[in-house]
C-alpha cells in the first residue's frame, strides 16, 4: 500500500477530508498553520477559509455544525483563548454535524509567548478530547473524533503539540466517505443559549461525558500494550513516542487517545496489573492529578517536571538517572536569535522609533515583535494579538493619571493583527480619547506564520480574488481624521509622519505601508548595496538598523552580498554617504 510522508498537520487535513468534512475555518498560528494550507487541494469537496481571528473561525465552523454538516476549526494554543467564548457555549448546546476544534500547543515555546497546556480547556469547557501521537493517528483519530462528536453530542478538542504537528511520519490514506448533512430543523431549545436552556443543557452534558468515559474504556483509541508487569506507563500524545524509546524493553503501556474524559476504570485495571505505575506526560500533571485523585498510586511529575518539551533522553535522565556526559569543547556558540529579514519594511519604522528616547511603544504579535530585539530595541511591551493599541491606551491613561507628561505613546501592530483584533482597540482609542498614536505596519500579508492571506490582502485561502479591506477607510470611518500613509523604508518620510501625527490637532493614525519582500506574487525592486571603504569611517551607525546583511570587519562596514536586497536603510543612516545601491 502507498505510504506518504506527512506532517501531523497535513495528516489532520487529510483526515478531515476523509471524514467528509464540508466547512473549515481557521486563523493561522504556529504550529497549526499547515493544516489549513493543505486543505485547498480538497476544495472540490469542502469549503475552507482563513477567518479574521480564531473566535470567528470557531463560530463559522460551529454554525456549519448547527446547520448539519461536519466542520473543522484549527488554531494555536493561545488562539483557543481568543475562541474560548463560543467553545464553552458550544459544549452546552452540543452539535449538529460533527464539530472538531484543533488546538496545537507549543511546549518549549518554539514560536509562542507561553506554553499553556490546553488539555485543561477540555475539562473546563466540558469537551471531548482526542490526542494523536503521530501522523497516522492524526489521520485516523480525526475520523474517530467526528464519530465521537456526533455520538455524544459534544465538540471534540483535537489536541496536538509542536512535535506531533510538525514531525513527519509515514501515513496510509483511506477514501473520503461523504457524510450527508443532517436535514436542518430549527431547534431553539438546543441552539439558543438562554439561561433556561442552559439549565437543561448542563445536566445533558454531564450525562454525555459520563457515557463517553464508559465508551473510552473500550475504544480502540485507548490501547493497552501489556508486556511484563514490573513497569506500567500511562501516556498519551508525543510523550508516548518518547516513553517507548526511554523505558526498557518489556515495559507495559496504556496509550491513551481519548484523554477527556479519562477512562478511569481502564486506568485502574491497568494499574492493578503492574507493580509500578508511571504517568508520562509533557507540561502539566493533567492526567497524573486525576489518576491520583481517583486513588491510584503513580509516579510522574516529581521526576519529569512541568517545564518545556520532553524527549527520550530527558525521560531516561529524569526517571532512570542516565545522564549523558557531553565532551567539553572549550568553545561555545553565540546565540543566534531570529531577526527582521534584510529588506524587511518594518526595519525603517523601528529604527525611527529607536531614535526617540521619549517614545513608549506597545507592540504586538508578529514579525514586528522582533523590533524589540537589539540593536533596534524599540518596544516596551508585547502581550497578545490585538493588544498593541489597547495596552498602549492603558499606559497612556496611566501616564495621564500620574502626571507623566514627557512620554509619547504608540500602539503598533501588523495588518493581519489589525483585522484579527486590533479594530476594537482602534475604536477604544477614539471612543475614550486616548493620547495614543495607533500604527499599522501594513506589509500586505500575515508574515510570521508564512504568508497567509487576510481580509486586506486581496485573496482567499482557496486562491480566489477577494475584496481587499482598506485599513485607511476603516480608521477614517472610526474618526481618525488624519490617517498618514507612509513608506517606512524612506526614513525621512517616516520621521516626518511621526512628527506630523504627534503634532496633529485631530485624531491621527499612521499606516506604514510596504509589502513583505517575501511575497512571491509581487515583483520587488531588488538591488545590492556596497560600501566605499575609502569613505567609511567605521562609526558603526549602520549597525544600528539591525540588518543581518550589515557587518563591521577590520573597522569598516561590509555588506553581505548574498543577503542584501538593496533596501538602502543602512545607506540612509550613513553620515558619510559611504553606502550606495547598485542595480542588479
Partner 1 sequence: MTNNKSALLVGVGGQGAILTAKVLVNGLMRAGYDVKMSEVHGMSQRGGSVSTQVHWGEKVNSPVIGKGAADIVVAFEKMEAVRYADYLKPDGVAVINDYEMASSSIAAGLAQYPAGCLEAMEKHFRCHVLKAEEIAHSLGSAKCMNIVLFGSMVKALHMEDVVDWESVIADTVPPKFRDLNLRAYRAGYDAVEG
3-class DSSP assignment, residue 100: strand
Of the two residues 173 and 399, which places its CB atom closer to partner 1 in the complex?
173
Q: How far is the CB of 276 from partner 1 (least distance, A)?
A: 21
Binding status of residue 321 toward partner 1 by CB under 8 A: no
322 burial level (CB within 10 Å; 0-12, 13-18, 19+) = exposed
The site map against partner 1 for 335-364 (x = CB under 8 A) is xxxxxxx-----------------------
| Cα–Cα distance for residue pair 189/198, rounded to 1 Å | 9
Neighbouring-strand partners of residue 4: 171
The single residue among 195, 295, 324, 577 that binds partner 1, judged by CB under 8 A, is 324
Of the two residues 338 and 463, which places its CB atom closer to partner 1 in the complex?
338
Binding status of residue 433 toward partner 1 by CB under 8 A: no
Q: How far is the CB of 400 from partner 1 (least distance, A)?
A: 34
Of the two residues 71 and 311, which places its CB atom closer to partner 1 in the complex?
311
Which distant-in-sequence residues (6+ apart) come within 8 Å of 86 by Cβ? Answer: 55, 58, 59, 62
Q: How far is the CB of 336 from partner 1 (least distance, A)?
A: 4
User: What is the widest separation between alpha-carbon atoms in the chain?
Assistant: 82
| Cα–Cα distance for residue pair 575/529, rounded to 1 Å | 15
The site map against partner 1 for 117-146 (x = CB under 8 A) is -----------------x------------
Which cell numbers hold the place of 373? 530585539
Q: How far is the CB of 163 from partner 1 (least distance, A)?
A: 6
| Cα–Cα distance for residue pair 502/316, rounded to 1 Å | 59
- Residue range at the interface with partner 1 (CB under 8 A); choices 59-67, 204-212, 329-337, 427-435: 329-337
Binding status of residue 465 toward partner 1 by CB under 8 A: no
Q: How far is CA 71 from the centre of its chain?
A: 20
What is the number of other CB atoms lying within 10 angstroms of the CB of residue 223? 13
The single residue among 264, 519, 543, 576 that binds partner 1, judged by CB under 8 A, is 543
Q: How far is the CB of 241 from partner 1 (least distance, A)?
A: 4
3-class DSSP assignment, residue 89: helix
Neighbouring-strand partners of residue 409: 360, 436
Binding status of residue 334 toward partner 1 by CB under 8 A: yes
3-class DSSP assignment, residue 71: strand
Of the two residues 3 and 276, which places its CB atom closer to partner 1 in the complex?
3
Q: How far is the CB of 338 from partner 1 (least distance, A)?
A: 4
Q: Cis before residue 31, ω within 30 degrees of 0? A: yes
Question: Could you say which residues in the range 31-90 bind partner 1, by CB under 8 A?
Answer: 31, 33-34
Binding status of residue 562 toward partner 1 by CB under 8 A: yes
Residue pair 542/573 in contact (Cβ under 8 Å)? The answer is yes
Which residue, 359, 471, 372, is CA-closest to 415?
Answer: 471
Interface ranges with partner 1 (CB under 8 A): 3, 5, 30-31, 33-34, 110-111, 134, 162-163, 166-170, 238, 241-242, 244-245, 309, 311-314, 316-317, 324-327, 329-341, 367, 370, 373-375, 448-450, 540, 543, 546-548, 550-552, 562
Amino acid at each position: 500500500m502507498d505510504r506518504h510522508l506527512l506532517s501531523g498537520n497535513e495528516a489532520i487535513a487529510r483526515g478531515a477530508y476523509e471524514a467528509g468534512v464540508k466547512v473549515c475555518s481557521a486563523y493561522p498560528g504556529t504550529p497549526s498553520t499547515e493544516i489549513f494550507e493543505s486543505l485547498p487541494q480538497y476544495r472540490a469537496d469542502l469549503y475552507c477559509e482563513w477567518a479574521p481571528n480564531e473566535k470567528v473561525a470557531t463560530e463559522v465552523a460551529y454554525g456549519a455544525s448547527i446547520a448539519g454538516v461536519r466542520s473543522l476549526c484549527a488554531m494555536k494554543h493561545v488562539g483557543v483563548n481568543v475562541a474560548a467564548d463560543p467553545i464553552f457555549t458550544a459544549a452546552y448546546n452540543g452539535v449538529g454535524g460533527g464539530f472538531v476544534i484543533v488546538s496545537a500547543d507549543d511546549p518549549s515555546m518554539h514560536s509562542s509567548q507561553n506554553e499553556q497546556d490546553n488539555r485543561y480547556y477540555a475539562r473546563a469547557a466540558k469537551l471531548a478530547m482526542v490526542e494523536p501521537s503521530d501522523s497516522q493517528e492524526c489521520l485516523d483519530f480525526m475520523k474517530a473524533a467526528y464519530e465521537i462528536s456526533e455520538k455524544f453530542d459534544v465538540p471534540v478538542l483535537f489536541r496536538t503539540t509542536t512535535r506531533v504537528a510538525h514531525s513527519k511520519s509515514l501515513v496510509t490514506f483511506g477514501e473520503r466517505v461523504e457524510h450527508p448533512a443532517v436535514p436542518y430543523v430549527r431547534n431553539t431549545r438546543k441552539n439558543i443559549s438562554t439561561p433556561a436552556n442552559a439549565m437543561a443543557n448542563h445536566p445533558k452534558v454531564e450525562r454525555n461525558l459520563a457515557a463517553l468515559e464508559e465508551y473510552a474504556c473500550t475504544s480502540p483509541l485507548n490501547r493497552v500494550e501489556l508486556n511484563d508487569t514490573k513497569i506500567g506507563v500511562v501516556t498519551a500524545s508525543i510523550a508516548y513516542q518518547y516513553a517507548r524509546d526511554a523505558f526498557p524493553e518489556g515495559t507495559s503501556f496504556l496509550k491513551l487517545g481519548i484523554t477527556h474524559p479519562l477512562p478511569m476504570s481502564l486506568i485502574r485495571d491497568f494499574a492493578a496489573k503492574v507493580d509500578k505505575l508511571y504517568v508520562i506526560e509533557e507540561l502539566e500533571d493533567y492526567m497524573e492529578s486525576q489518576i491520583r485523585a481517583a486513588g491510584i498510586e503513580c509516579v510522574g511529575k516529581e521526576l519529569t517536571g512541568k517545564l518545556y518539551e520532553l524527549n527520550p533522553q530527558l525521560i531516561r535522565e529524569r526517571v532512570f538517572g542516565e545522564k549523558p556526559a557531553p565532551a567539553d569543547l572549550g568553545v561555545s556558540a553565540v546565540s543566534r536569535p531570529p531577526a527582521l529579514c534584510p529588506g524587511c519594511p518594518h526595519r525603517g519604522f523601528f529604527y525611527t522609533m529607536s531614535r526617540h528616547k521619549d517614545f513608549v511603544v506597545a507592540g504586538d504579535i508578529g514579525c514586528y515583535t522582533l523590533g524589540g530585539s537589539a540593536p533596534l530595541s524599540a518596544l516596551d511591551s508585547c502581550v497578545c494579538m490585538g493588544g498593541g493599541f489597547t495596552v498602549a491606551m492603558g499606559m497612556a491613561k496611566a501616564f495621564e493619571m500620574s502626571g507623566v507628561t514627557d512620554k509619547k505613546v504608540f500602539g503598533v501592530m501588523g495588518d493581519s493583527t489589525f483585522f484579527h483584533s486590533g479594530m476594537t482597540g482602534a475604536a477604544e482609542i477614539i471612543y475614550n480619547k486616548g493620547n495614543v498614536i495607533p500604527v499599522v505596519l501594513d506589509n500586505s500579508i500575515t508574515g510570521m506564520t508564512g504568508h497567509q492571506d487576510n481580509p486586506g490582502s486581496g485573496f482567499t485561502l482557496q486562491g480566489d480574488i477577494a475584496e481587499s479591506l482598506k485599513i485607511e477607510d476603516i480608521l477614517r470611518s472610526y474618526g481618525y481624521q488624519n490617517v498618514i500613509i507612509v513608506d517606512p523604508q524612506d526614513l525621512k518620510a517616516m520621521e516626518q509622519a511621526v512628527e506630523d501625527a504627534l503634532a496633529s490637532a485631530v485624531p491621527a493614525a499612521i499606516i506604514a505601508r510596504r509589502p513583505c519582500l517575501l511575497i512571491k506574487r509581487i515583483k520587488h525592486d531588488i538591488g545590492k548595496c556596497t560600501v566605499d571603504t575609502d569613505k567609511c569611517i567605521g562609526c558603526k551607525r549602520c549597525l544600528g538598523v539591525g540588518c543581518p546583511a550589515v557587518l563591521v570587519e577590520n573597522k569598516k562596514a561590509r555588506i553581505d552580498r548574498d543577503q542584501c536586497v538593496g533596501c538602502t536603510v543602512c545607506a540612509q543612516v550613513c553620515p558619510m554617504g559611504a553606502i550606495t545601491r547598485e542595480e542588479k
